Amino acid sequence: MTAARVLTFDRETAARFSFLLSLPVIAGAVLYKGLDLAGEGIPPGMGGPFVAGIVASAVSGFLVIAFLLRYLRVHDFALFLWIRVAVAALIFVVIATGARPATI
């Protein structure tokens, strides 16, 4: 989204473009996991929860994207900037205090 904004896209178009760029990656992951699952099969009794998970994921994803696009029509990216800065500061503190190492 930041690169699209640098290229003078408006906020909503930048977000839409970003979401469209994610579609090939998502489709590839679905295909990869789908082929893996087709080879192994769904364990007995897990078909319903599997389908419910897919539906819940799709619905929540569409709702979040719709909310974000509606939000960006009126607001800018400043909120997201500050959230990223806060998370980065938190990660720095966690690493600096030795609670978690900087490498995996």
pLDDT at 88: 96
Give yes or no for a contact between 9 and 17, defined as CB atoms under 8 angstroms apart: yes
pLDDT in tens, 18-60: 888 888 998 898 888 888 887 888 788 887 888 898 889 889 9
Please report, for residues 17, 29, 34, 40, 53, the alpha-carbon distance to residue 43 in angstroms, rounded to integers and kept in the order given: 38, 20, 14, 8, 15
> How high does pLDDT run on average in the chain?
88
pLDDT at 24: 92
Q: DSSP code of 99?
A: S
- Cα angle 35, 36, 38 (rounded to 5 degrees) comes to 60
Give yes or no for a contact between 69 and 12, defined as CB atoms under 8 angstroms apart: yes
pLDDT at 95: 94
- Cα angle 28, 29, 35 (rounded to 5 degrees) comes to 90
Return phi, psi of residue 85, to 5°. -65, -45
Q: Is residue 103 over pLDDT 90?
A: no
Q: Is residue 104 over pLDDT 80?
A: no
Q: Which helix (H) or strand (E) holds 53?
A: helix 47-74
pLDDT at 37: 81
pLDDT at 26: 87
pLDDT at 86: 97
Q: Is residue 92 over pLDDT 80?
A: yes
